[in-house]
Chains A and B, each alone.
Chain A
Amino acid sequence: MNLLDPQGPVAVANSQILVDSVFIMLVIVVPTIIAILAFAFWFRASNRRAHYQPDFVYSGRVEMVVWAIPALTVILLGGVAWIGSHQLDPAAPVPGTGSPVRIQAVSLDWKWLFIYPDQRIATVNTLTVPAGAELNFQLTSSSVMNVFFIPQLGSMIYTMNGMVTRLNLRADNEGKLQGLSAHFSGDGFPDMMFDVNVISPLAFPDWVATTAKTDSVLNEDSYKKLMEQGIERGRPTYRLEDPRLFDLIATQHIPPGPGPQIASGAGRPRSGGLDAR
């Protein structure tokens, strides 16, 4: 999950800006730290060779320089931020080979549901994508806020109930990656990690075909079961009954998740409550 080992163009650009910005700043930060230590050491009271200048308390030239150095750095970095924000807007297109794959991600309490509306399939906690193709994500949440993040593909984005956020990514190399939720969402939050299988564009249709043969069906009823609070250890897959399911969720035609079901009015959760639910 190393940010400096990016596997797609968005992550490459993100981490490039990250590294560049650090180096731009190091150019003034390192000399400043050295100067602090050097001045503190040289002008120590016991150093008789240091020249005591109690009246050196203002210098127009020094003032100009000390305002100018950070200002110039910030102008430079501000340019990086402005251009970077526009080029790397999460919703900006990321051209790829072949036709784009539409994926609708829903954060549930505490698992990720990935709906492939065009392929009429859905998966939980596993995201399988073809290498090289543009991935168009639409994201929402069944209940609380989460952040969808695959560190090596770049650009995380919030998921919120009743709202849809957009994100375009591309994975360039086949292999296994990991994704996670980057916004705390309750007791099962640490188990919201998911696998990302980047497979060859040729294998992708096969995988779709195999998955479509699954017995389990995702419709409003099975979705409602899925969104009850709990952790999913397996990696279930579904046939998608209605390709408009995501819209029903995002527009709250399916009401938000129910939250915890506590037995009594007690103000304190039972220990081991996670398993009980």
Chain B
Amino acid sequence: MLGKLDWSAIPFDQPIPLVAGAMVLVAILGVLTWVVVKGHLPYLWHEWITSVDHKRIGVMYVLLASVMLLRGGSDAIMMRVQQAIAYQSQGYLPPEHYNQIFSAHGTIMIFFVAMPFVIGLMNLVVPLQLGVRDVAFPTLNSVGFWLTATGALLVNVSLVVGEFSRTGWLAFPPLSGLTYSPGVGVDYYAWSLQISGIGTLVAGINLVTTVLKLRTRGMNYLRMPMFCWTTLASNLLIVAAFPILTATLAMLLLDRYLGFHFFTNEAGGNVMMFMNLIWAWGHPEVYILVLPAFGIFSEVVSTFSGKALFGYRSMVLATMAICVISFMVWLHHFFTMGAGPDVNAIFGIASMIIAVPTGVKIYNWLFTMYGGRIRFATPMLWAVGFMVTFIIGGLTGVLVAVPPADFLLHNSMFLVAHFHNVIIGGVLFGAFAGFEYWFPKAFGFRLDERWGKLAFWFTFTGFYITFMPLYIAGMLGMTRRLQHYDVAAWRPWMFVAAIGMAVLSIGVICQVMQLVVSIRNREALRDRTGDPWDGRSLEWATSSPPPVFNFAFHPDVRGEDAYWDLKTHAKQQLLGHHPEPEYQDIEMPKNSPTGFVCAFFATIMGFALIWHIWWMVILGGLGAFATFVVFAWRDHDEYVIPAAEVARIDGVNLEERRSLVSMAGSI
């Protein structure tokens, strides 16, 4: 009846996951009770859960990423503590628990923190920057988000029901095969990623279509803000790369469920094929994450330097070059597998070539600052911190692209330090910069600068204290994923890294405090103009938060930095007179529970697949399919906002703006 599931799946003998799981459960139940008792449920249902508004979905993506960042961060703290104390002892985490933690840490941080964070920001901002009212496929967008949430949920269920994968974040066979991992851990891993992978693919298709097909009048390709370009590149990579991940995991699952032999030791299975396939997705994945971050920094550096982006066309070229070359370097993840010298050298050189467009980007940001009038608001601090940190990560990255150097550094703590250097220093700093920068746009009030700067400084220094020692440990021969060790020389560096982790945690606490303080002081921090940073692109041309239809009129774009031109123009005219604009009815897509209901069934199906509960698999599958059929047979999917309502909403916004511009004009 319940497949492999029985009471032994609950870790009654392991206090750490049990207590953690119980606390999370209590917290969730508490929030749910509060929502129901206070009567917020209808509001949540109508305004958020069923919303197909790209801004709402973007916010929910970022919220999911933030919550999962706390989970992945807890794993990180546990690992650093374990390695600090597990010298000539077992530490406090037995191997079967420690191995789950580093596997979960990697899986969560990449798939459920970095991915939803950047996809959320793209969702929120790109339609606004393009001057359009929504993404290409609004309901599909909602489906994508909820399927991602399903994946995250399943990963967390594994904390208390069964176990998570103990094979690392990429589940290399044959270790991840049925012979060597007979438990449900790898199944949790694979089904979570299969379900959330569909969500990511859907989001990618949606954003590519949005950028290619939905731009406002005059917004031709070479007038798009850099963030739209990097969004295009990143989502093209998603569309091209994620099917490879899906196919690879499908083959692994066939091995595990139906006795296939794609990646087994016996019967002609080939484990090296898995390595090739997973990295053929895995390397583009790195650029899927970091390209949007590059876009965010381009916007931030340009805005806070008070200058247009230096070498815009060069940046576009660099972005697209990275997009293409990122598919030609995957083999550098296993130089040490015994491929011949020609193969190793060619992939090593291809990997270095990516450093060229990346270096160009750094220099173009540098020259954007040159001759600027730089305001060091929190987003700009993250940007400068990123530039310095990312160069160091780039250096160590090119270093491990030299095959003979990689023969010493492969899989070492040096490598761990390198990819945290680029993922934290690049993607996470970028996500935080974007969060600080666009928060006022999403919620209508700025974030507290004092706590924001504290968060930056703690995170920045915490990062260096944590990861520089790992570089050194790697140079001392330390490999990754050690649950305990006997080498005295490594120990002091593990101590320092643990202290760094504490500093990093203070940074995260400051980030949370910033949010709390800002929400309390929201009236004082209110952004009435819609343009709190003196911005340059179209998202600042509408109110904060924008109305559901984003723009009352489709903006007319006449050059790069569309909104900056508009502002300059308006100041010159000093706004002599303004004819009352002629508003028209606006059609917007209707809310739809499709995404939520579909993800509900997908969760049931995923859980049932993991535990081999076949009747439930059929139930979940039919439910998800039926949801789509019902959605496909819909008659009306749009509603009309009457012109009078548009006029009322836009009038308020215009009033604020006029007072701003006339004030600026009079100065």
Residues of A within 8 A of B (CB): 1-4, 11, 13-15, 17-18, 21-22, 25-26, 29, 32-33, 35-37, 39-40, 43-45, 50-54, 56-59, 62-63, 65-67, 69-71, 73-74, 77-78, 80-82, 84-92, 143-145, 147, 149, 151-152, 154-158, 160-163, 165-166, 178, 180-190, 193, 252, 255-256, 258-260, 262, 264-269, 271-274
Contacts and interface: CB of A to CB of B under 8 A. Distances in A.
A152 B405 CA distance: 13
- Chain B interface: which size bin? 35 or more
Given A66-B311, A91-B338, A85 B404 contact: yes
Contact of B387 (A36, A65, A182): A36
Nearest to B162: A267
A260 B407 contact: no
A158 B336 contact: yes
Given A25-B398, A43-B369, A274-B94, A143 B180 contact: yes
Contacts of A154: 407-408
Taking each of A149, A255, A272, which has the highest tally of chain B beta carbons within 10 Å of its own beta carbon?
A: A149
A52 B307 CA distance: 9
B419 interface: no
A20 to B, nearest CB: 9
14 contacts: A21-B399, A29-B391, A36-B387, A36-B391, A40-B374, A45-B373, A54-B308, A57-B307, A70-B358, A85-B345, A145-B271, A158-B338, A267-B611, A271-B94
Contacts of B375: 45
A64 to B, nearest CB: 10
A33 B487 CA distance: 35
4 A-B pairs closest in CB distance: A1-B477, A53-B371, A70-B359, A151-B477
B621 interface: no
Given A35-B366, A187-B96, A271 B14 contact: yes
Contacts of A193: 485-486
Interface stretch (B21-29, B166-174, B276-284): B166-174
A44 B487 CA distance: 48
Given A77-B398, A267-B9, A88 B404 contact: yes
Given A29-B395, A32-B391, A77-B352, A187 B338 contact: no
A54 B266 contact: no
Interface stretch (B50-58, B409-417, B422-430, B540-548): B409-417
A53 to B, nearest CB: 3
B119 to A, nearest CB: 29
A14 B405 CA distance: 6
Contacts of B253: none
B338 A90 contact: yes
A47 B404 CA distance: 48
Contacts of B310: 56-58, 62
Contact of B95 (A33, A51, A190, A258): A190
Contact of B359 (A43, A66, A157): A66
B6 interface: yes
A144 B99 CA distance: 16
A3 B494 CA distance: 18
Contacts of A262: 182-183
Given A74-B352, A78-B352, A267 B4 contact: yes
Given A57-B311, A81-B352, A186-B99, 6 more contacts: A18-B404, A18-B405, A26-B395, A29-B394, A88-B404, A190-B483
B9 A43 contact: no
Given A32-B366, A143-B265, A268-B163, A1 B5 contact: no
Contact of A40 (B4, B168, B369, B392): B369
A62 B311 contact: yes
A27 B4 CA distance: 59
Contacts of B94: 271-272, 274
Given A43-B305, A186-B175, A268-B163, A36 B486 contact: no
A264 B8 contact: yes
B388 A37 contact: yes
Contact of A269 (B5, B96, B353, B372): B96
Contacts of B349: 74, 78, 81-82
A43 B373 contact: yes
B364 interface: yes
